[in-house]
Structure 1
Amino acid sequence: MEHHTRPTTGPATYLPKAETGRTLPADRTVLLVIDPVNDFLSEGGAAWEMTKGTVEKNNVIPNLKRAIDGARSQGIPVLFGPMAYTEEDYALHNLQKRSGINRLMFENKMFLAGSWGADFHPEIQPQAQDIVLLPHKSCDVFQTDLAEHLESRGITHLVIAGMTANLCCESTGRHGTEAGYDVTFLSDAIGAAGLPEYEAAIHINFPLISNGVITVDDFLASIEHSPVPAIEAGDTVHGSDDAEIGNVKKVVNDGDGPGYLVVGQGLLKSDVYVPLDAVVRRSGTDVFINLPTLIVGKMPWTEPPTAATTSAKQGPPAAAVEKLYGSYAPTGRA
């Protein structure tokens, strides 16, 4: 298995950049399940009165179970990322003073180490082959041993599910994207403290900070074990928010310029020319691009891309730039 090491210094990168497929490679993908614990998911949990609306509406528990069981059956490692707090966290480290969410958890005695509330939901229990991470103490699961597990396994694709949408799931996904991972969120296996928080995360933030927001069914169908069929006319194109853009009318990939899809958007809307390298997922006859549907109409995709227009979007070579910010260069280390 080829391993991709995340650089600690140097320019920003995208870890799966050498891949040409539009699936989730089974040997380089993990499913990260964040905080699937009783305080969030069980009646009587410290946060249940806040979370039960979205957990029940989205069928989060059965969908999480399907995602976990499906990942295991296809050889995808499952990582559990829970929280747990001890007396030292508060008495010595004053975490209750760090942020609003830390204060809320402190006052409501949430995720106390060794308690029923901090334990995993009875239907979502780790198995021997799974990985249970060290506890995160706020919202970012990367502030644990997560990165070490990802790097040691050569992981490039991070699929996120669990709790809660606008806090731990979003913070961890943002960090993953900044670190170069291909990040996907599972929309029907994520809950939140309320519907507004869930909707804002799923429909506004996730589609921009990740490479896609898809369902559990599409996740499982996107895992690569055999060659993926080529995109064809008639396939349905979705944005990174999972909303439908239109249908493929033509696939152009003749080698004379950048490949692209001609996508028909239906009555009263003109065709759009979607670059092939914007396509990041294929699930059956559904094609997913890494841009929200509502933004597609604001892209310069009204004409087929050319080598010249693509080159102009890349900017100048680094060696040709004298001052990075026009009239200023970075000051450097203090």
Structure 2
Amino acid sequence: MSNATYPLDRTAYLLVDPYNDFLSEGGKIYPLIEPIATRVGLLDNLRTLDRTVRGLNIPVVIVPHHRWEKGDYENWDHPSPTQCKIMHMHHFARGEWGGEWHPDFAPQDGDIIVQEHWGSSGFANTDLDFRLKQKGITHVIIVGLLANTCIEATARYAQELGYHVTLVRDATAAFIPEMMHSAHELNGPTFAHAILTTDELVAALAQAGA
């Protein structure tokens, strides 16, 4: 799935959950993704993609998870297992280092920061679709964490809304190899229009910008 073409004026780069807790040494979740993140070169690939899309003036859209605050989820009728874990572990806590942006991927002037998502999809109960449509976006490149949860849910929702969806198999990570395999080899091909490596995507974007 490497023959995708990208209209640069209608393509957006969606970076999901670039928090210290996920991407930085000392983050609460980083030790769980570190083996796979290291194997695929996650941080370097995200840096490469950041430089590439900014160089081509592709809009950068930050798609952040809700930052935990005291009392979150406690009185919900049916919080998900992940939300229960966040409630107990205080992942992405607002006002704490773990809930701040990884310094290499902090928003820059002109970037779009959408409303925080409570579950896995960056579209559900947020303004993401509205913000993309206001810029005439038809193609979305979705990277960040985690491959089998927020990335997959956001990408599935994007496809349902009519967007052309690209996943980048080495610009994400998960807890175990089986989750990565499921995300890119089993589930991804049922909804994504392209599943590329960072190098393949950079080449396709360069061709689009030529």
Q: Same fold (TM over 0.5)?
A: yes
- Aligned equivalents of 1:25 and 1:210: distance in 2? 17
Distance 1:22 1:62, change over 3 A: closer
The letter of the residue matching 1:109 is H
How many residue pairs end up in the alignment?
Answer: 204
More strand per residue: 1
Q: Distance in 2 between matches of 1:22 and 1:121?
A: 30
Mind listing any 5+ residue stretches in structure 2 that lack a counterpart? Answer: none
CA distance in 2, matches of 1:43, 1:194: 18
2:192 is aligned, of 210, 213, 217, to 210
One-letter code of the match for 2:23?
Answer: L
Q: Residue 82 of structure 1 contacts residue 133 of structure 1 at CA under 8 Å; is this kept in 2?
A: yes
* SS in structure 1 of the partner of residue 95 of structure 2: coil
Q: Does 2:112 match 1:131? A: yes
Deviation at 1:122, TM superposition (A): 1.8
Structure with higher RCO (Cα < 8 A, 6+ apart): 2
Give 1 or 2 for the bigger CA radius of gyration. Answer: 1
Q: Separation in 2 of the partners of 1:86 and 1:108?
A: 11
The structure where helix makes up a greater share of residues is 2
Whole-angstrom CA distance in 1 between matches of 2:13 and 2:42: 15
Q: Provide the TM-score with structure 2 as the length reference.
A: 0.91
Unaligned runs of at least 5 residues, structure 1: 1-20, 227-334
Residues in 1 aligned to 2:209 and 2:43: alpha-carbon distance in whole angstroms: 27
Identify the residue that residue 269 of structure 1 maps to in structure 2: none
1:39-79 residue CA offsets vs partner (Å, 9 max, x unmatched): 11112211122111111111111101111110010011011
Q: 1:54 aligns with which of 36, 58, 64?
A: 36
Deviant stretches of 4+, over 6 Å: none
- Any idea what the Cα deviations from partners look like across 1:165-222, whole Å, max 9, x if unmatched? 0000000000001111000001111111222111211111112211011012222222
Query: SS of 1:201's equivalent?
Result: helix
| CA RMSD in angstroms, aligned pairs only | 1.7
Specify the alignment match of 2:90 in structure 1.
109
Q: Would the aligned equivalents of 1:81 and 1:133 in 2 still touch at CA under 8 Å? A: yes
Matched, 1:65 2:76: no
| Mapped contact 2:73–2:79 kept (Cα < 8 A) | no
TM-score, normalised to structure 1, is 0.58
Shift of 1:30: 0.4
Matched-pair contact (CA < 8 Å) for 2:72–2:87: no
Structure 1 residue 74 and structure 2 residue 81: aligned? no
